[in-house]
Amino acid sequence: MDMTNDIVWLTIALASITVVITKAKRKTAKLDPKCIRMPPPAVKGLSIIRILHTLLTKGLQQMIHDQYKKLGSVFTVRFFRMKATFLIGPEVSAHFYQGTDYEISNGVGLEFTVPMLGKEVGYGVDSATRNEQFRVFYDVLKPSKLRSHYGSILQEVEEYFEKWGHQGIVDLKQELNQLLMLISGRCLLGKQVREKMLDEFFTLFQELTDKFFPYVPTPATRRRDIARAKLSEMLTEIVRSRKEYSHVENDVLQNFIDFKYSDGRSTTESEVIGLMITLILAGKHTSTITSIWTGAHLLASARILKSVLVEQKILISKYGDHLDYNAFLEMDTLHNCIKETLRIHPPVAIFRRKVHKNFIVQTKDGIEYEIHSGHTLVSPVIFNNNLPHIYKDPDVYDPDRFGPGREEDRVGGKFAYTSFSGGRHACKGESFAYLQIKVIWSYLLRNFELKLESPFPDPDWTKLVAEPKGRVMVSYKKRLLATTEVVHA
């Protein structure tokens, strides 16, 4: 994937230098007194200039590739007093994903989300409070509750696409953005938002997540702050109304209102609002972008599209035109298409952690390195998902790589596929995301002939999650998928 947007990366580089110079003035953390193993090979001095040049001219993946080939699967980039250690491949990633918060944590790596989510939740609070808040996320998104969401998702999908004409041309980005907000409104936000103020909520949410750079004083960040304040007002009114009139709904918002911490304390209004915005960002925003990328890839490959259509025909012959929840559990081909989309377009390109306790990492060649407290660990998902010794022809969109007989991610090891993170940090909403996207694309493929009219899009790296750049134009024509001649691909 090309990441050579000079302006974007120059901004990142300048911002990073500013942060590093600031940190260089602070007293550094003391290392453990004994060094048992040698440290990873390091990039430092004049070499930093060369890798910055590669970053700005050829992109992040090429920069990592050059150092990976030169230094191996574990290497450190030293810049002033900052030490960022890159971990390439599943063999060296176990501690990154499984270490406890005492040993390794997110540190300040995700503080950029605070202006969007609020100071009362997520990475605006201490780790103990944050872990308790994550517990309620898991409770509302756990796989056992998916069946209860299925009917609502399907109803929103059917009602939305019934409004399309017999044929036409649409911008897939705009359509799926609106649809996923409707689904989130019904499943996550609750009836009051869904029925009375969803359009306004949708507009404000778009402004809240429009640009990647959280602290640069631009018109986009000013719009973000205004949008955050208005969203807070809207949700505060609903929360107060429910509490004042003892109005109880069977929805996620009510779960957040009723949630109690381990010490018995109830959530505050600000916490409830922050939790809701966090959930929408995780449950709607990333699913929307993955849905768009999935559609673009399906419509760009006649062979893959045919195999997905064959699967849909088989399921229609088994379940009839109205597929139930069990049918979606059997959509292995479509599931693998979504999974392959996420391999190529992970919602988060890079995961970072802060080391609090020295640990040893061993490469696949048996070389051991000691990584010291104070280092920033980097797991570049977008690079690790494209390692050729794990994924055959990684630049090719090939969902079959996850199918029977290949299962390249399983063969590659436990952390060969980390688009939803992994270990202690695995995304709680993975199953919910897959269900939403399956319902959408199953319905579209069964009821419309679709064709990608615009060129295959490039990623827009200025966004919080890299979405397709520009419009994704798709022509459609209504049809019912025939099942009289089911031919296995």
Q: Is residue 97 part of a domain?
A: yes
State pLDDT tens for residues 75-91. Answer: 999 887 789 999 999 99
CATH code for the domain in which residue 444 is found: 1.10.630.10
Q: Is residue 485 part of a domain?
A: no
Region 420-426: mean pLDDT is 86
Q: Binding site for heme, residues?
A: 427
Region 203-219: mean pLDDT is 73
Q: Which two tokens stand for residue 154?
A: 């399907």
* pLDDT number for residue 18: 37
Q: Is residue 1 part of a domain?
A: no
Cα–Cα distance between 317 and 109 in angstroms, integer?
Answer: 50
Q: Is residue 257 part of a domain?
A: yes
Domain that holds residue 36: 6-478
Top pLDDT among 249 and 477 is at 477
How many other C-beta atoms lie within 10 A of the C-beta of residue 142? Answer: 13
User: What is the DSSP secondary-structure string of 403-443?
Assistant: STTT-HHHHH-TTS--BTB-GGG--TTHHHHHHHHHHHHHH
Q: Which two tokens stand for residue 449?
A: 């002939």
Q: Is residue 214 part of a domain?
A: yes
User: Any idea what DSSP says for residue 475?
Assistant: E
* pLDDT number for residue 31: 38
| Sign for the pseudo-dihedral over CA of 77, 82, 88, 91 | positive
Distances (CA, A) of 364 to 160, 184, 256, 295: 50, 43, 45, 37
Cα–Cα distance between 138 and 279 in angstroms, integer?
Answer: 11
Cα–Cα distance between 35 and 329 in angstroms, integer?
Answer: 50
Residue-averaged pLDDT of the chain: 85
Total tally of structural domains belonging to the chain? 1
Show the DSSP H helices in 165-268 as ranges.
172-184, 191-196, 198-208, 219-244, 252-258
The confidence band for 57, taking pLDDT boundaries of 50, 70 and 90, is confident
* pLDDT number for residue 19: 41
Q: Is residue 489 part of a domain?
A: no
Whole-number percent of the chain with pLDDT over 70: 88
Region 96-112: mean pLDDT is 81
Top pLDDT among 41 and 465 is at 41
Strand partners, 370: 360
The confidence band for 376, taking pLDDT boundaries of 50, 70 and 90, is very high
* pLDDT number for residue 6: 37
Q: Is residue 486 part of a domain?
A: no
Q: Is residue 484 part of a domain?
A: no
Task: Name which of 294, 321, 317, 254 is nearest 173 in CA terms.
Answer: 294
State pLDDT tens for residues 261-282. Answer: 999 999 999 999 899 888 887 7
